[in-house]
Chains A and B, each alone.
Chain A
Amino acid sequence: MKINSNFLGEVEIVEQDILLFEHGLMGLEEYKKFVLLPLDVDLPIILLQSTECAEISFILAFPYAFKSDYHFDLSEDDKEQLQIEKEEDVMAYVIITFKEPFEKSTLNLLAPVVININKKLGKQIVLHDKDYPLRYPVPTLKGSGK
């Protein structure tokens, strides 16, 4: 099927790749269906595109490439909601707020996006008990994160 992305134009996707975010993302709860689309760039990032609205997309970063000690545990409730059975099911991303130049961008380490890649379920969770910032400055990648 074809979807429209303001960012990438018309994109062909496989329906089975559609991720369901039951609660949407905070502040944008009405959009529940997304796909992950690769970006042709040399940065450890990926596009989270709504399949329902071309204008709704986020750039997600692989957090460990930017902060190698980033770590959190999923609550039992989140595991249940996302039907996570084993660690390999889980992909964790953080949302980038892009600023020009890229070095001024920030990462939302407080509320990561967690995806069960097998069950195609996603959720933005809040790390209540961690001290991770909402706006973590993007550190320079020293080549090691790729």
Chain B
Amino acid sequence: MLVLSRKKGESIIIGDNIELKVLGVDGEQVKLGIIAPKTVTIHRKEVFEEIQRQNKEALVVNADLLEQLKKYK
């Protein structure tokens, strides 16, 4: 892992079109600003992983489900 130290207001550039800026530091919390092309999706990692897991759990695996759903009105 590449490790860089940055101060508030300083940035790093990833590739030639992504900028990650340290906007502020408050105790254990770091506020980051990200400038990236619209095609780059940005997520909080733990949220992204949870949604990935939830999507996989939501996959319809059971073909009997339709019969079960028909019971509900």
Contacts and interface: CB of A to CB of B under 8 A. Distances in A.
B63 to A, nearest CB: 6
Interface residues of B, number: 27
A56 B73 CA distance: 26
Contacts of A39: 66, 69
A6 B63 contact: yes
Interface string A1-35: 00000111000000000000001011110000000
Contacts of B43: 126
A113 B56 CA distance: 15
A37 B62 CA distance: 17
B61 to A, nearest CB: 8
13 contacts: A25-B55, A56-B59, A57-B59, A57-B60, A95-B58, A98-B58, A100-B68, A102-B68, A102-B72, A108-B55, A124-B55, A126-B47, A134-B54
Interface of A: 6-8, 23, 25-28, 39-43, 45, 47, 55-59, 77, 80-81, 95-98, 100, 102, 108, 110-111, 124, 126, 128, 134-135
